Amino acid sequence: MANTAMARYEILLLAVPEIAADDASTVESQLHSAITAQKGDVLSFERWGKYRLAYQIQKNDYGVYFLARFILPQADLGLALEDIHRLFRVKYRDLIMRYIITELPTEKSLEYRRPESLEETPRREASEAGSLRRDRDDRRPAVAAEQSVPVVEEAAKVEEDVVDVEDQEEAGE
């Protein structure tokens, strides 16, 4: 393996939101087998987590992402990638909704920053959500009161004028 040139790849998998841990480990082991069969090596396989999709895919609003990084010898690259495509198009078509394979530059670092998943996002307690809502509501009347002072004064003047007109009409009748 040291004599042949190696190419680095990553595959981003979008699985159905109901994927079980057993199914995920089976997908990981099958991918590992397909890569090692072509004299490659899996660098990492990570579960990113559950995310809301921008649009429905196979009637799903959510999906679970996995990122796998691996190296393959460039000699039989086409055959190796076709095996991986076949694995996800045929064998795991019910579990994997979408996938994309990307070649990574060998001179760049493999570091990345993964976005926070729905499973990691802290959930607010109902009391916290209510207090945030009250804080917002408390701010609105203060701003509205500052802006509405001239309107209230104008309304009072109009009301005085109406009363004066009514008094004049009563006195004149």
Delimit the domains of the chain by residue range.
6-104, 125-173
Q: Which amino acid is at 93?
A: R
Give φ, ψ of 165 to 5 degrees.
-65, -40
- The string of pLDDT tens digits covering residues 76-111 is 788 888 888 999 998 898 999 999 999 988 777 666
105 in helix, strand or coil?
Answer: coil
Closest alpha carbon to 47 in 74, 68, 31: 68
pLDDT at 136: 46
Q: Give me Rg for the CA atoms of the chain.
A: 32
**Using CB atoms within 10 A of its CB, is residue 105 exposed (0-12), middle (13-18) or buried (19+)?**
exposed
Indicate if the pLDDT at residue 52 is higher than 50: yes
Q: What is the share, in percent, of the chain residues with pLDDT greater than 70?
A: 62
- The string of pLDDT tens digits covering residues 136-168 is 444 444 444 444 444 445 545 555 555 554 555
Instruction: Report d(CA 14, CA 97) in Å as an integer.
Output: 6
pLDDT at 115: 67
For the segment 112-125, the average pLDDT, to the nearest whole number, is 66
For the segment 13-36, the average pLDDT, to the nearest whole number, is 93
Using alpha carbons only, give the angle 64, 68, 74 rounded to the nearest 5 degrees.
145
In the chain, helix, strand, coil percent, each to 5?
45, 30, 25
For the segment 5-34, the average pLDDT, to the nearest whole number, is 93
Indicate if the pLDDT at residue 170 is higher than 50: yes
Task: Judge: domain 6-104, CATH 3.30.70.60.
Answer: yes
pLDDT at 152: 46
140 in helix, strand or coil?
Answer: helix
pLDDT at 27: 94
Are 35 and 84 in contact by the 8 Å Cβ rule? The answer is yes
